[in-house]
Structure 1
Amino acid sequence: MGDKKPDRKPIPGWLNFVFGGMSGMMGICVVQPADLVKTRMQLMGPKGDKSVMTTVSGILKNEGVSGFYKGLSAALFRQATYTTARLGIFNSINDYYTSSHGAPSFPMKLVIGMVAGGLAAFVGNPAEVALIRMTADGRLPPDQRRNYKNVFNALSRIISEEGAATLFRGASATATRAMVVNGAQLGSYSQAREQLLPVLGQGIVLHFIASLISGLTTALASLPVDIVKTRVQNSAKGVNQFQVLGSIIKEEGVLTLWRGFIPTYAKMGPLTVLMFIFLEQWNALYYRLTE
């Protein structure tokens, strides 16, 4: 992944992690409102109003414009941990495989993406728990809100009030989602980029279209595991992902697994576009400065 000529040396492994994290953090600043709306919709029970506009208007009415950015510190911390790890691991494994065996096939790209996502999920799970708690807080009655001040306040209070193990609540669900997301997102982006390169040539247009394809693929594939993960991590008591999945299908219907598709793609599409464009530019800058 990235603007690499066949005779170029791979970008140093540690820089893969730095560039990945910086790209994710830059992108999340733009799409945080869509992620918050998606989370609120996923936490609605069978009697909740499922429309995007009702959710958006409710946030505006009760919390103001700033309500859309609740949990931004946790979102940034998540990108600094989870996205740094997943993109860094993916690019490092991809570079190693390419240098040893040649360009990976599409199935191999999916496998590399899933491995990267699964490993990164455990690194980012504490930030994930804090993010879900903070973005969900505004939907609760005032006397039930946790009112975390920022991600570090959230993490310290979770540890002191509920125990450190709570930071890894839903880790298996997070890992499942991460493997699906990364296999779909990183694998489909890399494949789309490879297929479109002869037609579009190198540049922003190539990165943009490949990212749109990747974002749509990822949103469709990841929503069912995402809604299960969200509910597990927001639960007051520990429940496993299979209990939550069965309950959703039984009580709310199978289509509920794709609730929040519009805000999910409103987040996933632009985030994928921005993240990969930023990543490609960081990679290109590295080669301009070192060649």
Structure 2
Amino acid sequence: MADPKPLPFIYQFISGAVAGVSEILVMYPLDVVKTRQQLDSTNATKGTLNCIRTIIKDEGFSRLYKGISAPILMEAPKRATKFAANDEWGKIYRSFFGVSTMNQPLAVLTGATAGATESFVVVPFELVKIRLQDKTTKFNGMGEVVKDIVQRNGVLGLYKGLESTLWRHIWWNAGYFGLIHQVRGLMPKPKDSTQKTLIDLTCGTIGGTFGTILNTPFDVVKSRIQAGSARYKWTYPSLLVVAREEGFAALYKGFIPKVLRLGPGGGILLVVFTTCMDFFRTMRDGKELKDKPLK
């Protein structure tokens, strides 16, 4: 399948931003549940539905959207960077390796590099979100969290957990974009826009699910590192600590709400992103045709 017509960076950025905000508005409560389960080392928050009921009963429905301001502000640059970086790195790697179209190894490599790029944008927002989602939080909003972090640790304190975030995003994006490329190659060519949307939704959901399977252990330790626990400092040693003290299954705490979010969420991301990109391609093609001089 031929690669779609490339567009300038700004169109990729806008499309990624719209896709990210769309996904977070629909799926955010599952992210709150996921974080609660990952921070719980006593196994008190068992079951996704039970956790949701407990939060609503004890803290009110609005708590399911606690800390959403940070992700909303984050989603536009985060997802925009994800898709734009994936496209731009794809161009670089295709040129470097001398291939005209994307292949499976390049899709994985491009996704991993895009994930690493995305991490530098994400870390401060993720840190604030984790601090607000923690059940024991003393903060009421983003400003309070940022002020506390800067006062205690300086501006660089906002990048606590960068190393673990890098690994989380490298693994997820490698699985997500790599599998999307693989699944798309197995799909029939869409006959209309409805079939194209269904194919994108299927590819994105499968890619999001696979990426989540790969990166959940890294997400668990990232949440604990950013929550402020002195016991967790570096990713791979922290993986061993959790597995040794709580069992291997503890590395997949929060997996159900996470995969329920990022499986369908990955589908939403891809559908909205490709729809926006197709809109911009149509708009540019129409403008180029209009501006073309008549002979």
Task: Flag whether TM exceeds 0.5 (same fold).
Answer: yes
Between the aligned partners of 1:23 and 1:157, the Cα distance in structure 2 is 31
Are 2:144 and 1:148 equivalent residues in the alignment? Answer: no
Change (3 A) 1:193 1:286: same
| Alpha-carbon distance, 1:13 to partner | 1.6
Is contact 1:37–1:263 with CA below 8 Å preserved after alignment?
A: yes
1:56 maps to 52
Taking only aligned residues, the RMSD between alpha carbons, in angstroms, comes to 2.2
AA aligned to 2:214 is: A
Instruction: Specify every segment of 5 or more residues in structure 2 that has no aligned partner in the other structure, as ranges.
Output: 286-295
1:104 alignment partner, one of 85, 102, 105:
102
Partners in 2 of 1:4 and 1:108 — Cα distance?
13
Spell out the pairing of 1:114-125 with structure 2 (5 A cutoff).
114-125=112-123
Task: Report 1:269-288 matches (<5 A).
Answer: 269-288=263-282
Measured after TM superposition, the shift of residue 75 of structure 1 is 1.0
What is the Cα deviation at residue 152 of structure 1? 4.2
Aligned to 1:28: 24
**2: CA distance, partners of 1:283 / 1:223:** 30
Aligned to 2:240: 246
Residues 59 and 67, structure 1, Cα contact 8 Å, conserved in 2: yes
Match of 1:86 in 2: 82
- The structure number with the bigger radius of gyration is 2
Partner SS state of residue 101, structure 1: coil
Quick check: 1:132 aligned with 2:130?
yes
Distance in structure 1 (CA, Å) of the matches to 2:50 and 2:23: 26
Cα deviation per residue 1:200-249 (whole Å; 9 max; x = unaligned)? 77511111111121122112111111101111111244722234222211
Trace 1:177-256 onto structure 2 (pairs within 5 A): 177-198=168-189, 203-237=196-230, 239-256=233-250
How many percent identity over aligned positions? 25
CA 1:244–1:212 in 2, change beyond 3 Å: closer, same or farther? same
Does structure 2 retain, via aligned residues, the 8 Å contact 1:97–1:104?
Answer: no
Amino acid at match of 2:68: L
Q: Which consecutive unaligned segments of at least 5 residues does structure 1 have?
A: none
Paired AA for residue 281 in structure 1: T
Task: Give the TM-score taking structure 2 as reference length.
Answer: 0.87
Are the aligned partners of 2:20 and 2:78 in contact in 1 as well (CA < 8 Å)? no
Q: What's the offset of the Cα at 1:71?
A: 1.1
Cα 1:226–1:154 shift into 2, 3 Å: same
Q: Summarize the Cα distance change of 1:14–1:46 in structure 2 as closer, same or farther, 3 Å threshold.
A: same
Question: Quick check: 281-290 or 155-164, which moved more?
Answer: 155-164
Change (3 A) 1:239 1:93: closer
CA change 1:26–1:216 in 2 (3 A) is same
Q: Is the 8 A contact 1:231 1:244 kept in 2?
A: no
Deviation sequence 1:128-150 (CA, Å, 0-9, x none): 101111111xx21xxxx32232x
Contact 2:3 2:101 in 1 (8 A): no
Distance 1:68 1:240, change over 3 A: same
1:85: how far off? 1.5
Of residues 138, 161, 164, the one that matches 1:170 is 161
Partners of 2:144 and 2:105 in 1: CA distance: 42
TM-score (norm 1): 0.89
Using the TM superposition, give the Cα deviation of residue 25 of structure 1 relative to its aligned residue in structure 2, in angstroms. Answer: 1.4
1:4–1:290 distance in 2 versus 1, CA, 3 Å: farther
1:166, 1:37 → 2: CA distance?
Answer: 25
Q: CA deviation at 1:51?
A: 2.2
What is the aligned partner in structure 1 of residue 293 from structure 2?
none
| Alignment partners' CA distance in 2, 1:265 and 1:47 | 19
Could you say what secondary structure the match of 2:189 adopts?
helix
- SS of alignment partner, residue 275 of structure 2: helix
Once residues 83 and 145 of structure 2 are traced to their aligned partners in structure 1, the CA distance between those partners, rounded to angstroms, is 26
CA distance in 1, matches of 2:191, 2:11: 28
Aligned residues: 280
